[in-house]
């Protein structure tokens, strides 16, 4: 335990386990008037305070272009907590944070605004009579990532207290680049200003309880790890499905698409955690090393129309929960010549000892039958010797399903005898639910990630070489689709599980998509 952490004891930190203690911190949120700040970041900070996990000295500065008074900013954040927090506003606890909140107006490309921000933080340190950790949270459109990083460097704030427990940190939201070249360029800008241990590239999926639990399920249970390989696993299916359409974000979404918006980041993270080798320890770098290795082991994707490894589509009009909804091309802000996909599916081949020959099927789409994110490990069937007589025995493949949202839990599909005098079988489910076992009021992903960034635990954040490895896999697909335009872009009815063409990816290996949920 460092002296800096030991000194931050505070009345509302009583009982806090020392290994999670954060040093005194000044957090600066760039994009403070944005939607993410109101919906996720400030409610997360409030709940950390409610759980006694904020440092005793914690200051929050909102940075944005729009001029706002300190009190107006505080009132905006009061309303955000009241509307979006998982727990009701506790004025006594929140006031301890609120009194140390302020707002700083300026342009993201204005060096003077960053110099005055540095002066403000220096004054906070002077008033307290001690050094503070500086955590810069970049919650802005990606177009201004670069000027923010460069101005943090030119103002000197990036190198404050470097190589100490109070070294400055930068947390960067996705999307981290639009392709391999842009990701490399952004990494170069960041590494010119910050050292890699100071950088926290965030993917909120990694903060979800079931995603974190995946490593526990794999490596803390002897019934799973020995069979988590090509000898016993038939295929792996990962689904990240949304029932919502693009809504009012049509103009933005059309510049992104499902591959950039969901596959390259969230879904690839689930692939890495599912397929990675056991790390040598729970040290952050050991875990991230194994994630990078397995992403690099994924073979280049075949892009031909017949027998290829990728499928793209967009939703047409249909029914969602019994209500008619419009198709993607009828949504506001979508150009008539759009070739953007709202659904993408891939068949991945991992060329290593553990997974050689085991297909990983991944898909993500909007306006699908229901909201569901899950990882399904389908095991090989036993030899068809005893239970293979026509329709008498309904024998399903054993499957382990890790449900990430909306209902967090783990389900095992196995086969059982139906009670009665005749020997008949049917698949049954053994289910573990987080809400039933641990209660439904579990921490939000951003609570875990903000706390981890403050204490310097980078396990759940993405390293620079990891994001480049992921972009290296999907960039050829993006280029191919751009060249094809609308050619090969399938359609699927809103409220369905995607285009018929995606079934081909699995049918060639005699597999079928699970009906998630």
Which residues 6+ apart lie within 8 Å of 421 measured at CB?
none
**Contact status, residue 17 vs residue 451, Cβ threshold 8 Å:** no
Would you place residue 309 in the very low, low, confident or very high pLDDT band (cuts 50, 70, 90)? Answer: very high
Prior bond of 406 cis (ω within 30°): yes
- What domains lie within the chain, and their CATH numbers? 3-173 (3.40.50.720), 206-379+464-507 (3.30.360.10)
What is residue 328's three-state secondary structure?
A: helix
What pLDDT does residue 483 have?
A: 94
What pLDDT does residue 436 have?
A: 77
Active site residue 204: no
pLDDT tens string 91-123: 999 999 999 999 999 999 999 999 999 999 999
Cα distance from N-terminal residue to C-terminal residue, the chain: 44
Strands (E), 56-141: 58-64, 101-105, 133-138
306/401 Cα distance (integer angstroms) = 30
Averaged pLDDT of the chain = 89
pLDDT tens string 451-506: 999 999 999 999 999 999 999 999 999 999 999 999 999 999 999 999 999 999 99
Mean pLDDT of 264-278: 94
Q: CA dihedral in degrees (260, 265, 268, 273; nearest 10)? A: -170
What pLDDT does residue 384 have?
A: 64
pLDDT tens string 194-237: 999 999 999 888 888 888 888 888 898 899 989 999 999 999 99
Q: Which residue has the tokens 């009021």?
A: 441
The phi, psi pair for 293, rounded to 5°, reads -60, -45
DSSP codes, 16-30: --GGGPPPSEEEEEE
Q: Which H or E element spans position 250?
A: helix 250-253
Q: Could you tell me the sign of the dihedral formed by the alpha carbons of 221, 285, 173, 438, in that order?
A: positive
Mean pLDDT of 188-194: 96
pLDDT tens string 406-444: 888 899 988 887 787 777 777 888 988 877 777 666 788
What pLDDT does residue 247 have?
A: 86
Q: Which H or E element spans position 480?
A: helix 464-484
Percent of the chain with pLDDT over 90: 71
Would you place residue 517 in the very low, low, confident or very high pLDDT band (cuts 50, 70, 90)? Answer: low
Would you place residue 341 in the very low, low, confident or very high pLDDT band (cuts 50, 70, 90)? Answer: very high
What pLDDT does residue 372 have?
A: 92
Out of 59, 104, 204, 266, the active site residue is 266
159/175 Cα distance (integer angstroms) = 25
pLDDT tens string 389-416: 556 666 778 899 999 888 888 999 888 8
By residue count, the chain amounts to 517
DSSP codes, 37-62: IIIIIHHHHHHHHHTT-S-SSEEEEE
**Contact status, residue 126 vs residue 153, Cβ threshold 8 Å:** no
214/505 Cα distance (integer angstroms) = 26
Q: How many CB atoms lie within 10 A of CB 345?
A: 28
**Contact status, residue 491 vs residue 316, Cβ threshold 8 Å:** yes
Q: What share of the chain is helix, strand, coil (3-state, %, to 5)?
A: 40, 20, 40
What pLDDT does residue 8 have?
A: 35
193/151 Cα distance (integer angstroms) = 9
Percent of the chain with pLDDT over 70: 93
Would you place residue 370 in the very low, low, confident or very high pLDDT band (cuts 50, 70, 90)? Answer: very high
pLDDT tens string 3-62: 343 333 333 333 333 345 789 999 999 999 999 999 999 999 999 999 999 998 999 999
Report whether pLDDT(385) > 80: no
């Amino acid at each position: 335990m460092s002296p800096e952490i030991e000194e931050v004891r505070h009345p509302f930190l009583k009982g806090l386990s020392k290994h999670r203690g954060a040093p005194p911190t000044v957090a600066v949120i760039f994009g403070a008037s944005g939607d993410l700040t109101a919906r996720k970041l400030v409610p997360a900070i409030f709940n950390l305070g409610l759980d006694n996990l904020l440092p005793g000295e914690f200051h929050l500065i909102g940075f944005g272009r729009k001029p706002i008074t300190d009190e107006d900013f505080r009132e905006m954040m009061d309303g955000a907590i009241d509307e979006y927090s998982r727990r009701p506003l506790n004025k006594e606890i929140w006031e301890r944070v609120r009194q140390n909140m302020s707002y700083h107006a300026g342009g993201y490309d204005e060096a003077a605004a960053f110099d005055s921000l540095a002066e403000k933080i220096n004054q906070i340190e002077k008033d307290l009579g001690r050094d503070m950790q500086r955590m810069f949270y970049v919650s802005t459109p990606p177009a201004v990532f670069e000027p923010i990083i460069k101005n943090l460097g030119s103002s000197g704030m990036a190198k404050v207290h470097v190589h100490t427990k109070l070294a400055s940190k930068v947390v960067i939201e996705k999307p981290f680049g639009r392709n391999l070249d842009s990701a490399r360029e952004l990494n170069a800008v960041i590494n010119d200003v910050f050292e890699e241990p100071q950088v926290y590239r965030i993917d909120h999926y990694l903060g979800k309880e079931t995603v974190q639990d995946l490593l526990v399920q794999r490596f803390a249970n002897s019934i799973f790890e020995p069979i988590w390989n090509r000898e016993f696993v038939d295929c792996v299916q990962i689904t990240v499905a949304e029932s919502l359409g693009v809504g009012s974000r049509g103009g933005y979404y059309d510049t992104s698409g499902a591959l950039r918006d969901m596959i390259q980041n969230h879904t690839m993270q689930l692939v890495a955690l599912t397929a990675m080798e056991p790390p040598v320890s729970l040290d952050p770098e050991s875990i991230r090393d194994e994630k990078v290795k397995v992403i690099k082991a994924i073979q280049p994707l075949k892009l031909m129309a017949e027998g290829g490894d990728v499928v793209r589509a967009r939703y047409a009009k249909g029914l969602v929960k019994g209500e008619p909804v419009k198709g993607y091309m009828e949504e506001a802000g979508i150009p008539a010549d759009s070739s953007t996909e709202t659904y993408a599916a891939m068949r991945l081949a991992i060329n290593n000892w553990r997974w050689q020959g085991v297909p990983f099927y991944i898909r993500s789409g909007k306006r699908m039958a229901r909201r569901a994110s899950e990882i399904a490990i389908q095991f090989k069937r036993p030899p068809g010797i005893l239970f293979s007589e026509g329709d008498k025995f309904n024998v399903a493949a054993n499957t382990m399903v890790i449900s990430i949202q909306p209902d967090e839990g783990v389900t095992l599909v196995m086969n059982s005898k139906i009670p009665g005098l005749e020997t008949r079988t049917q698949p049954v489910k053994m289910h573990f639910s987080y809400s039933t076992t641990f209660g439904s009021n579990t921490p939000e992903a951003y609570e875990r990630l903000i706390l981890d960034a403050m204490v310097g635990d980078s396990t759940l954040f993405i390293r620079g070489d990891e994001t480049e490895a992921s972009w290296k896999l999907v960039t050829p697909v993006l280029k191919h689709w751009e060249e094809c335009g609308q050619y090969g872009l399938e359609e699927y009815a809103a409220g369905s599980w995607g285009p018929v063409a995606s079934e081909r990816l699995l049918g060639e290996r005699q597999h079928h998509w699970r009906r998630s949920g």
